[in-house]
Amino acid sequence: MKRYAVRIAYPGDRFFGSQVQPGLRTVEGQVLQDLQLVTKQDAGSLDVRFSSRTDKGVSALGNVLALSTDMDIRTLLKAVNANSRDVFYTGYAEVGEDFNPRHASARTYRYTIPRCDDPESLGRNARLFVGEHDFKRFCRPDGKPTVLTVDSVEAQPFGEGVILTFRARYFLWNMIRRMTGALLDIDAGSRTPEDISRALEGEDICFGMADPGFLVLEKVEYPGIEFSKADPSTFEGRLSECRDAASAALSFFESLRSTIRT
């Protein structure tokens, strides 16, 4: 039996987060259902492990899982892509038995802010988080050490708003949403950049938490591992259906806005 790292994508609004929760539809539950349907293996022999946990509403373009199987991986991914609901299996790499997907060298997240009053200032304030800090005030505590290093935060103009890209070896629970919430508080005038600095120095300051629907796990990196692309022909039809549905929804709301304004 061989061990593989598999790259997956999914829209967060279709799931109650990534981890299995009894009675709720989750990414892990869908993945296990997909894999068991095709491989006929039980969950124990598949030994599926995820790189990163994502909360309800958070999407992924490049989350990574590890699995064990005797099936040819290209055949396996072709089959699951033809049958899966809302999970796209986009790449693969053979790895050693000791591969742990949690031990990534870097993770990149993207947060889209559709509108803000001062994108340039927001980008400048975002860089306050770069470097080693204690992020205790910018996470949901779960027992893990809160001192870590954020490698970079980049801000790119996007229409009336901005796209923030965060990169670090790992992030704490709710950390990006809380950092972004602090930046939005500043943009709204309810907080100042000095409040971020004081919170990073340990002062007990509370900030808002940004909406999960605008957060995407973009990429997870591992030293020495290059992912081969899965055959895209098996999910092109599904992508077209998703694009058509999104276009129809956008058309409806644009028409509604026009109706309201006339």
| Model pTM score | 0.91
Q: What is the pLDDT of residue 261?
A: 83
Residue 150 near residue 165 (C-beta atoms within 8 A):
no
Residues lower than pLDDT 50 in the chain = none
Active site residue 55: yes
Residue 84 near residue 15 (C-beta atoms within 8 A):
no
Please name which of 97, 79, 104 lies closest in space to residue 89, comparing C-alpha atoms: 79
Q: What is the pLDDT of residue 78?
A: 94
Q: What is the pLDDT of residue 62?
A: 96
Residue 174 near residue 209 (C-beta atoms within 8 A):
yes
Residue 46 near residue 6 (C-beta atoms within 8 A):
no
Query: At residue 123, what is the residue type?
Result: G
Number of C-beta neighbours around residue 105 at 10 A: 11
Annotated catalytic residue: which of 55, 86, 134, 211? Answer: 55
Residue with the two structure tokens 């939005």: 184
User: Which residue(s) pair with 66 in the sheet?
Assistant: 5, 49
